[in-house]
Structure 1
């Protein structure tokens, strides 16, 4: 049977409360430009706000002025969204705790995930948000996913429980060897 091959996330749509709560959070806190607005074409009583998360794709929010924010944790039952994660540069990530504190937003503190660092907090409607920062940059022409695949293979071969920085470094070396040519013998120029 033939696949329906996807080529990335087109957009994610969330059910929001009022319009201003969405603008204050998505653009005001997370810096996502508010780029488009129209009625919800399936429910004209709602607004449909569009935000750019930084990669040209979209986060969209259905708003209704009759709904008010409720920051109790959203359901985590099977089929529900557990959290949304957004990529940050190391420079911005290093400022997150200070900036959340300045706004009085409770958070998890920095969590070391082996291949990335993460900070978690809830949006005004109780959805868990993760701000993540990779511990590596992929080689030119490669993606983070390709590095993760190679690091996973290295981790499994080593019998390690989770991906660590050594696996990332080895994965990057493997990808460079695979994608970049050299005139020398790759068996260890310069020693060990």
Structure 2
């Protein structure tokens, strides 16, 4: 039986409150351009706002002027979304604490995840947001996932608990070697 093969995230849709709260957060705080809106085609009483998270894909928000902002933490029951993570550059990452503090947004502080750095905070409706920055760039022709797959194999073979810089460095070296042609035996 054949798989239903995905080719990446198409979009994520979130239940929002009112229109302006969504625009203020997704574009005003996270810098995602507000690219278009239309009614929710399944429930025309709701608005459907579309934002570009930076990679040309979509984050969409269902809005209703009848729904009020409730900042209590969104459900983390089984089957619910725990958090959504967005990529930022290392240069932006270095500014996150300062920029979140300037807006009065409470956050986790910097978190070292071994292969990436992260900061967590909540949107106005209590959804946990992560801004993450990889601590490596994949070699030409490879993806971050390729490097992480290789680093995982190296980590497991070494008996280590989590991916660290030494696993990433070896993975990058091995992947780069696979795509590099040379006439020497080195």
Shorter chain as denominator, the TM-score bin is over 0.9
Taking the TM superposition and a 5 Å limit, the aligned residue runs for 1:5-154 are 5-154=5-154
Q: Paired residue for 1:178?
A: 178
The unaligned stretches of length 5 or more in structure 1 are: 187-192
Q: Paired residue for 1:189?
A: none
In the alignment, the residues of structure 2 paired with residue 129 and residue 156 of structure 1 have an alpha-carbon distance, to the nearest angstrom, of 29
- C-alpha deviation, 1:140, in angstroms: 1.0
Question: Cα RMSD between the aligned structures?
Answer: 0.6
In the alignment, the residues of structure 2 paired with residue 183 and residue 75 of structure 1 have an alpha-carbon distance, to the nearest angstrom, of 58
The unaligned stretches of length 5 or more in structure 2 are: none
In the alignment, the residues of structure 1 paired with residue 4 and residue 164 of structure 2 have an alpha-carbon distance, to the nearest angstrom, of 33
In the alignment, the residues of structure 1 paired with residue 38 and residue 18 of structure 2 have an alpha-carbon distance, to the nearest angstrom, of 14
Q: Structure 2 length as normaliser, TM-score? A: 0.99
Structure 1 runs of 4+ off > 2 angstroms?
none
Q: Paired residue for 1:164?
A: 164
- C-alpha deviation, 1:163, in angstroms: 0.3
Q: Structure 1 length as normaliser, TM-score? A: 0.96
- C-alpha deviation, 1:179, in angstroms: 1.5
Pairs aligned (count): 186
